Amino acid sequence: MKTDSIFYRLFQEFPHIFFELIGNSPAQANIYQFSSVEIKQTAFRIDGVFVPIQGDSHPIYFAEVQFQTDSKIYSRLFAEVCLYLRQNQPQNDWGAVVLYPSRSVDVGDIKHYREFFSSQRVKRIYIDELGESASLPIGVATAKLVVESEDSTAIVQARELIDRTKRESNSQSRQKLLQLIETILLYKFPNMSREDVEKMFGLSELKQTKFYQEVFQEGVEQGVEQGIEQGVYREKLRTISRLLKLGFSIEQVAEAVDLSLAEVRKVVNGFENV
């Protein structure tokens, strides 16, 4: 699963993390709805948009996750934002947040957009500079786990984070956070089997959760490695169905199962015609 998909799921299931990242009260998440938004008649897609549920007294927040160098990131971002504002004509003010794993990835030229940055309308967050994980809220520490570069550091941080999650979270959020942490660990340690990850980090209880049984059941990984044309890929189809039900966009599903957008749309159309 690609990094932006992880953050999409992070913000979808725990929207308060976004507001903690930008230094606001996590309670603000209660008045927002988060989604990924496609700009009509263009090739643009905004990673995430937090829209106030009602009223225009709170700003719209555009969230962009950028884990690869892109010298044109800001021209693209502001084009997307302006097109969104033109098409939707919101009364709300707006702000934007760009999440980078580290400052070195931020190579975009802000020359034409510097007023947006100096006014703090647009904020850049470098996840590796957020501070020590132990001093961060659990959700923010989970986001920081994604960018831990040293395997030894990531292992220590993951174990501490899992212990904190089990101690400090209520039962509902605890299960979701542990599921998300497992996803991050599988992403960070691709050479380890799921069983090894569970054993190393004490996550074997996840096998009893509904999420695990539906999305990460035995055999899915083998199915994902195969195509869909020969009729032997039911596991991949099932994975696509589950990810769509969890709120992932078609683009994110395509990345997760390593298919083209056209192939995933073909599958989705097949679901709708059943």
Could you report the per-residue pLDDT of 64-106, keeping only the tens digit for each?
999 999 999 999 999 999 999 999 999 999 999 999 999 999 9
Output the six-digit token pair for 96.
């934007």
pLDDT for position 196: 78
pLDDT for position 52: 94
CA dist 189 and 63 (Å) reads 26
Output the six-digit token pair for 209.
């959760």
Give the 3-state secondary structure of residue 98: strand
> What is the pLDDT of the chain when averaged over all its residues?
81
Q: Please name the fold of domain 1-129.
A: Trna Endonuclease; Chain: A, domain 1 (3.40.1350)
pLDDT for position 36: 82
Contact present, 17 and 139 (Cβ < 8 Å): yes
pLDDT for position 171: 67
Any bridge partners for residue 49, and if so which? Answer: 35, 62
CA dist 210 and 216 (Å) reads 10
Do 1-129 and 217-274 fold alike per CATH? Answer: no
Q: CA separation (Å) from 148 to 46, 113, 138, 189, 263?
A: 25, 31, 15, 12, 33
Domain 217-274 is of which CATH architecture? Orthogonal Bundle (1.10)
Helix then strand then coil, in percent of the chain rounded to 5, is 55, 10, 30
Neighbouring CB atoms inside 10 A of 80's CB total 21
pLDDT for position 176: 82
Q: What is the pLDDT of residues 130-163, one digit of tens each?
A: 998 888 999 999 999 988 876 778 888 888 998 8
Q: Which residues contact 265 (CB under 8 A, 6 or more apart)?
A: 250
CA dist 19 and 27 (Å) reads 8
pTM: 0.69
Cα pseudo-dihedral 222, 204, 11, 19, rounded to 10:
-160
pLDDT for position 228: 41
Question: Where in the chain are the domains?
Answer: 1-129, 132-205, 217-274
In this prediction, the residues of the chain whose per-residue pLDDT falls under 70 are: 1-2, 39-44, 150, 171, 204-236, 245-247, 270-274
